[in-house]
Amino acid sequence: MFKDFFEGDPAQLAPLTLAYIGDAVYELYTRLEVLGNGNIKVNELHKKVVQRVKAQTQSKLFQEITNDLDEIELAILKRGRNAKSKHNAKNAEVIDYRRSTGIEALIGYLYLKKDKKRLEDILQKVNDIIKE
């Protein structure tokens, strides 16, 4: 989708760096997925996206996908969850915020690893869980 700006092993990056990238990737993916469901007003689009990307939703995803991950992916997920952030969770419990950071770290890792197939698999699984 974009020029390869990052060359290296994403597993060597700090988990909060992975989460920073993963947050952007997941937000864009979610916006495009919601938009793909039909032409809706921007305000409604925003509400639907916020519902999917908020910490509470991502916390649920964390719990649902752990069994579908390989050893390295699970380690990245847990590193993200356990990362100490100076940022306080707004409108979320600390555990939800930490789990959401884990999800974002995993997405950032897969994106930077350029593992498009696995990233798409995980994002599809996430969509399936959200739609339940």
Active site amino acids: 23
Backbone dihedral angles phi then psi of residue 59, each to the nearest 5 degrees: -65, -40
Q: How far apart are CA 132 and CA 113, in angstroms?
A: 29
**CA neighbor of 58 nearest in space, from 86, 17, 22:** 22
**CA neighbor of 46 nearest in space, from 61, 59, 60, 27:** 27
**Interior/surface letters 9-33, b for 16+ CB within 10 angstroms, e for the rest:** ebeebebbbbbebbbebbbebbbeb
Token pair in block for residue 9: 């092993």
Angle at 83 between CA 102 and CA 59, to 5 degrees: 30
